[in-house]
Structure 1
Amino acid sequence: MPTVLRCVNVCRRLYTLNQLTAQVLYSPLSMSSELQKPDNTDKSAEDSWSLNYVTGNLFSCPKDEALAHCISEDCRMGAGIAVMFKQKFRGVEELKEQKKLPGQCAVLKRDGRFIYYLITKKKASQKPTYDSLRLSLEDMKLHCVKNGVTKISVPRIGCGLDRLEWPRVSEILEQVFKHTNISITVYSLPVKAETTVMKENMRR
C-alpha cells in the first residue's frame, strides 16, 4: 500500500507540475494576444479628420461635398462670397424660416447635398466673434454627424470682409472637428482673382 500511495502522490505532483508549466508557457501568449486586440479594431474617428487646402473656385468642388460659409441672422448675403451663394442656391426665405440665431447653423439641401449657413452675427453690418463662429461650427458638426456628412468645402470662413484671422480660425476648426471623421477642404482664389471677386460683390 505505501508503494501505491507513493505512486499516487508522485502522479499528483507531476500533474500539478504540468498544469503550472502550461500556465507559465501559455499565459503570456494569451496576455499578449489580448493586448494586441485593440490594434486590430477600427481606428478612432479623430485619426480620420483632416483640413486640406486648394487654390481654386469653391464651387468647382466635388458635387458630393457639402458647402459652408458665414452669414448674418438677417440672411442679407449682400457682399463677398455670400452673394454667390445666394445667386447659386437661393432659398433666402427658407433660411429665414429656420429662425437661426448667432452661434447656430441654418441648412439648405440642394441636389442631394447640404449647404450650411453659419450664423456668426446678428446683422450684416456687424463683425463676428471667434466664439460665435465656434458655436455655429459646433452646430454644423452636430448636423453633419447626424446626417452622415464627411466632406465639407469652405472658403476661408470669417476671414474675408469679416476680418477674422485664419490661424485662429483654422485652430478652431481643428478643435471642433478633430474627434470626427469629417474632412474639410478650404478653397482660396489666387490673390488677384480674389480681389476682383470681392470688389464685384461689395455690399450695396
Structure 2
Amino acid sequence: MTVRFVDGDIFETSPKVALAHGCNCAGAMGKGIAVEFKRRWPTMYKLYKEKCQSGEFQTGDLFAWEDPDSGRLILNLGTQKTWRTKATLEAIEGALQKALRKVQQENIETVCLPMIGAGLGGLTAEQVKTQLVEVLDNSPVQFIVCENYAAGIQPNGIQ
C-alpha cells in the first residue's frame, strides 16, 4: 500500500482506523491536534503524561493505547523532546517504524494521521512528506495523511 495525502478531519473516521499523532515527550498536550486527543481520551492522556514524567516515553518512541469503549487504537508518536523543541526526522522515523510494527501485530489495515512534525513541530511539510513516504510507502498498511485540516470531513481513501 502507499501513503496518501488528503484533506479532512482524522476524527471523522471509523473506530477500526487507528489514529496517530506526533507529540512531545514532556507530558504536554496543550496545542494543536494534541489538545483534541487529550479532550477525547483523558485516560490516554493521563497515562501518556505518567510515561513522560517517568522517562518511559522518549523521542522515537511509541505509546499505543486502545480505547476500551470503541476499540480504536491511538498511536502517540514521540517526535520532539518538549513543546519548546523542534521535532526531528530521526524521531519521526523511529516512532513510525514502531507504529507500523504495532498496527501489523493488531491486524489494522488503515492509520490516519496529520502532518506530524510540521507546523508546531518546526519541520516543513516537504521534509515530513519525504520522511513519511520513505518510511511507510509500500508497507502492508494504508497510511492516510490529512495534510490540510477540514473540520467534519471524512478523509478520502478510508476503507
Aligned length: 143
TM-score by length of 2: 0.81
Q: Which has the higher contact order (CA 8 A, sep 6+)?
A: 2
Distance 1:57 1:180 in 2: 23
Distance 2:39 2:85 in 1: 22
Matching residue of 2:141: 182
Kindly state the Cα deviation for residue 163 of structure 1 after the two structures are TM-superposed. 2.2
**Would you say 1:52 and 2:12 are equivalent positions?**
no
Kindly state the Cα deviation for residue 63 of structure 1 after the two structures are TM-superposed. 2.4
Kindly state the Cα deviation for residue 179 of structure 1 after the two structures are TM-superposed. 4.1
Q: Deviations over 1:103-159 (max 9, x none)?
A: 111111011121001011221211111111111111111211222122001111111
Matching residue of 2:46: 93
Kindly state the Cα deviation for residue 86 of structure 1 after the two structures are TM-superposed. 0.4
- Compare the two structures and name the one with the higher helix fraction: 1
**Would you say 1:127 and 2:71 are equivalent positions?**
no
SS of the counterpart of 2:66? strand
Kindly state the Cα deviation for residue 97 of structure 1 after the two structures are TM-superposed. 4.3
User: Runs of 5+ in structure 2 lacking a partner?
Assistant: 152-159
Residues 147 and 97 from structure 1, CA distance in 2 versus in 1: closer, same or farther, beyond 3 angstroms?
Answer: farther
Kindly state the Cα deviation for residue 165 of structure 1 after the two structures are TM-superposed. 1.6
TM-score by length of 1: 0.65
- Compare the two structures and name the one with the higher strand fraction: 2
Q: Deviations over 1:16-39 (max 9, x none)?
A: xxxxxxxxxxxxxxxxxxxxxxxx
> What letter corresponds to residue 58 of structure 2 in structure 1?
L
Kindly state the Cα deviation for residue 162 of structure 1 after the two structures are TM-superposed. 1.2
> What letter corresponds to residue 82 of structure 2 in structure 1?
K
Kindly state the Cα deviation for residue 172 of structure 1 after the two structures are TM-superposed. 1.6
Matching residue of 2:157: none
**Would you say 1:66 and 2:23 are equivalent positions?**
no
Structural mapping, 1:54-203, within 5 Å: 54-90=6-42, 91-98=44-51, 99-110=56-67, 111-187=70-146, 188-189=148-149
Q: CA RMSD in A?
A: 1.7
SS of the counterpart of 2:131? helix
Percent sequence identity over aligned pairs:
27
SS of the counterpart of 2:79? strand
The answer on whether the counterparts of 2:2 and 2:138 sit within 8 Å (CA) in structure 1 is no
User: Runs of 5+ in structure 1 lacking a partner?
Assistant: 1-48, 194-204
